[in-house]
Amino acid sequence: MGALQNWVSMQDEYDCIYCVVDVHALTTLEDTSSLQTDIYEMVLDWLAAGLDPQKSILFAQSHVPEVMQLHTLLSMVTPLSWLMRVPTFKEKVKIQPHNVNYGLVGYPVLMTADIVLYKAEVVPVGEDQLPHLELAREIARRFNNLFGDTFPEPEAKLTSFPIVFGLDGKEKMSKQLRNDIEIALSPEDTIKRVMTAVTDPARQYRTDPGHPEICNIYRLQGYFNPSQLGDIADRCRSAKIGCVDCKMLLAQKINSTLEPFREQRAAFAAKPQYVKDV
């Protein structure tokens, strides 16, 4: 949600292009039967969050064949050693060792094509995506050195929202890792998801004092409930609040934060043809 908020805020300052990267999705999506539904649901999320087709261009990556053509050309000038050093490639290999395909290795090259085809000068990214963007700059620079000044080297616009760890407390929140909280969930399902989250590993009983500094729920409270963080920490350390109660407090805050979004999403979902036309 943090990334979407950043995108929405950029609409009045930049000429924005937002792409549903359905081709990128194929690197990890072995069963493609849900792909079209996933695209529709993502656009629904974008519209509900406030992306405006009158201000920004929204489209699916696969609808622009020139992206694939440019990806092929860029792959011819990108050393394999550059791709092998990307941290996210190593992470993906750990997640899906049974399916290490070229798409995973070449992911940054396709991402570069997504950016430079439109001569983009600024790219909204999180800190974890900076290595990909720096590689995109290197690829653009190498292409320009070989064939003349063609593409600008895109600059990063960092999102103000930090990396959010998932419910397992180990990795970044990710749908692929199934440690996420989908923003389109119902309030009831959101509560159920939050209740599965890992908490303070050192706290075994309700009467034990907690250790918020090592608790994943406390970290998530910092993202969604910062105004009550100090009070939550004090109550946790003094065992005045248990992990279940703390999870419920977090779930309620997430639900209240997402309520306007969910109302907008329901309104757009009632107009499926409009969403498809977008």
CATH 3.40.50.620 in the chain: give the residue spans.
2-158
Residue 172 appears among annotated catalytic residues: yes
| Cα–Cα distance, 168 to 120 (Å, whole number) | 36
For residues 56 and 18, is the Cβ–Cβ distance under 8 A? yes
Q: Residue 276: its pLDDT value, please?
A: 87
**Cα separation values, 61 from 68, 79, 193, 230, 274, Å:** 9, 24, 31, 44, 19
Residue 175 appears among annotated catalytic residues: yes
Share of the chain above pLDDT 90, in %: 53
Residue 130 token pair = 């900076």
- The contacts of residue 160 (CB under 8 Å, 6+ apart) are 2, 6
At residue 52 the predicted structure's pLDDT band, cuts being 50, 70 and 90, is very high
Q: What is the mean pLDDT of residues 88-107?
A: 80
Tell me which fold the domain 187-277 belongs to. Tyrosyl-Transfer RNA Synthetase (1.10.240)
175, 192, 240, 271: the active-site residue:
175
Residue 90 appears among annotated catalytic residues: no
Burial of 90 (0-12, 13-18, 19+ CB in 10 A): exposed
Question: Out of 3.20.20.540, 3.40.50.620, 3.55.50.30, 1.10.3470.10, which CATH number does the structure's domain 2-158 have?
Answer: 3.40.50.620
For residues 124 and 157, is the Cβ–Cβ distance under 8 A? yes
At residue 176 the predicted structure's pLDDT band, cuts being 50, 70 and 90, is low
Q: Residue 1: its pLDDT value, please?
A: 66
